[in-house]
Each structure stands twice: as C-alpha cells, then as structure tokens.
Structure 1
C-alpha cells in the first residue's frame, strides 16, 4: 500500500490496523456504520437493501462518528460484516458488471459525502444518536416478542424495523416521540396480561 500511495504516504504510515471490524467500532466509538455493497440483495435479503450514495449523503448527520466499510476487491464485505452495518449503500452501475474497483467506489461515495457535508444538519433536526436508536429498537423488540409468531419472523420483523429507522435518518425528537408510543404500547400489553 505504501508504494501505491503516491501523495498519501503519511496517511499509510499513520494508519491504525485492527484485527476485526468489531474492535475498530468499539475502540473508535463509532455512532453509525455504513457498508458499501456492489451486490445488493433482493427483497428477502434484508441486510442488503441499499440506498444510493446521494441519498446517504443528503441525510447523514455529519456530527456523528461515521465509518464507511468498503469490502475486499475480490468478494466484498462478508454477510457478518454487512449485518453489523446500520445501513448499506450501493452505486448504480451497468447490470452486466455491477462491481466497481474499490478506489472508484470510494471516490463516488466520498464525493457525494463531501459535496453535501455543509448542508446538514439543520439546527433542531439532528439525527438521533446511536443510543437513542438502540433504545427505540429495544422497545420494538419487546413489543414484537409479545406476538405469537415464529422466532424467525420476529427476527426479520426487528431487522426490517432497524433498516427503516436507519434509512429514514430519524431525528432525536422523532426517536423520543416514537419511543414513548412503543413504551405505552408495551405498558398496555403488560396491564392486559395482568387482568
């Protein structure tokens, strides 16, 4: 990498190397993980339903600590790595060759990010924090677990909810309001169970 770096040798020299994505996310206290994929999944592959780079860039909270994961040149990100991501992004390309060179994919995504970074956030419309989303997802999981449906459907339902929350880039106020509704629903169910 050092010999290919041209004008970025200092960046390569100072690069921090981690054995796993989990270690990196924990050490750097990442708020939001974006996974890039050249092979979006179909409607049943819930983790690989992507958005386009311009949609991502227009909605990102640039005050968060954000990580963008780019996969290996040969086979991209693993399913386990994609599962860790809050959202996936895919660059529309010719269907006959949908996979881009990693440097080109990074250039397109980062171009969109830098083009839009000064336009957001509008004061009062800051995206909800990772912790706010975690509480919201936890309340939804509690609600889903009250349903008499198979476990795999509960898991898929929660994954769909998480996808929607992350794709929508909800504000802190929206997360707080929605959490209140879920909490009241959960409380009502508990009251009914006691009767």
Structure 2
C-alpha cells in the first residue's frame, strides 16, 4: 500500500526582532506535540520509507521531535518545501514517490490545500476533522492505489487525520 503522510510543522513562536521567519524555533507546546505525534505514529506502525522536510528551523525541529519516538526512514531536507505552493509540493512528491511511503514535513497553506486536492475520498471522521483546518502538528494519512510517483488530484483516500487535540483526547489512528 502506498501512503503519503503530510505533516504540518509544530507550533512555533513568533519571530523576534532580527529573526527571519525561516529561523523561527518551536515553542514548548510545539516540541511536546511533535514528540506525542512520534509516539502515535509508532503505535500505528506508520513508518515512511523516505522523509522530505523543509529546511525551515520549525520543520526540522518538528521532525526531530517525531524522530525521538518513531522511525522516519531516510531523511532529505529541502528549501523547496519552504517556498513551493501545493502544486510544487505535489511535483516534489511525484519526483520522490517511487517508494511505498513518504512523509512530508512542511507548511500551511500548502499542506491543507494539497490534502484537500488529492483526497478524492476519505474516512468521514478524518474528512470532518480536516474541514476545521489543518492545525500545527496536524498529520494527514493518505492512501493511494498507485505509486506516489503517479499521484494526481483526487486519487488519494484520506485514511486518517490526526491533530494535537485528538492526541490529548487519547484518540489513536483509525486506519481503514
């Protein structure tokens, strides 16, 4: 089964004077959310073959938090995930999608736009949760019949959408 995991970076603090947006670090709740997500990913056996991560500090720190508790496969950092739009994200996924599963750690609104565009159908609960927005530390789990190198809008199935609020309520992944 081909899976795409789309992870929006965890909560970051506001940029201080003289600090570029690119260099914003996670705040304490963001660090905790990233680590909790790693625990949930491990529990659900969500192990990507490859992780593509934005080079922005908050995305790298999110991946570090997740990786303290979960296997993230081989990791590639790229500046393109900081500046690309949703179509650019899809192109990057297709270029790297020859493997069975891929984790992308990036930014909004690209994560939300891409998830909505490629999820042709999905689990009702996951779709309902996503309809309220794509929060920091949100993770969309999408399943594809074909390889991710052939991913196109409407071809995915939104299998699960996990948020920090769901983790706090103790709601595990619900894979179908």
TM-score bracket for the superposition, by shorter chain length: under 0.3
TM-score by length of 1: 0.25
Kindly name which structure, 1 or 2, has the bigger radius of gyration based on alpha carbons: 1
| Higher relative strand content | 2
